[in-house]
Structure 1
Amino acid sequence: MKKLKMIVCAAAVMTSATALADDARTASHEAGNVAQARTSMGAAVAAAEKHAGGKAVRAEYEKGKDGRWAYDVEVAGGTDMFDVRIDADAGTVIASTKDAADSDDEGDKAD
């Protein structure tokens, strides 16, 4: 039984290390792309805040399903949360949806 626990723990550590390495490669790839964006993250956040009438609580730079890079900004406005997608080149609002207050937007309609 003790040997089985050690094998399971070793497999979990190896899996975690692989996931962290994948995350690091993705993050460095995204960092390279954000340097090429015509709109800065600060400008994207300002546009999202103005559009939703609130304060940004989170911002990400990500590649959409359409293959275009954009900023995904979560904005708190009063008691509502909004996901605002900003075009990385034009700095304009691509999409905006009212969202439940959450810290994980994976799978949200605007993603």
Structure 2
Amino acid sequence: MRLLADVHVKSAYLSALRADGHKMTRVVDTLEPTASDSDIVDHARELDAIVLTNDAKDFTRFEGHPGIVIVPQTGTSAGEVAAAVSRIERLVPDLTGQVLYATDWV
């Protein structure tokens, strides 16, 4: 799965997801530091990537997004997050417009 990781997603999560074979792009590597949430969603569309974020409040308001996976800031290990994302990839063929919480898939 191709993922676009928002600014505050833990680096341990990113490492575990990469190790699981997911293609990771970090917002901080491809957009300006002042990029808005709207810019991030637009960039995810360009990349055909799912947005990976811990910011449920801001990102769930967008329509027509390629998919959003909300990850927790605490309480879930990097391995659990990677396993959850892999389950989502396997069981949800099209994430377009969907918002899924990784903790529901642990």
Q: Give the TM-score normalised by the residue count of structure 1.
A: 0.29
For the pair shown, the structure with the greater C-alpha radius of gyration is: 1
Greater RCO structure (CA 8 Å; 6+ sep): 2
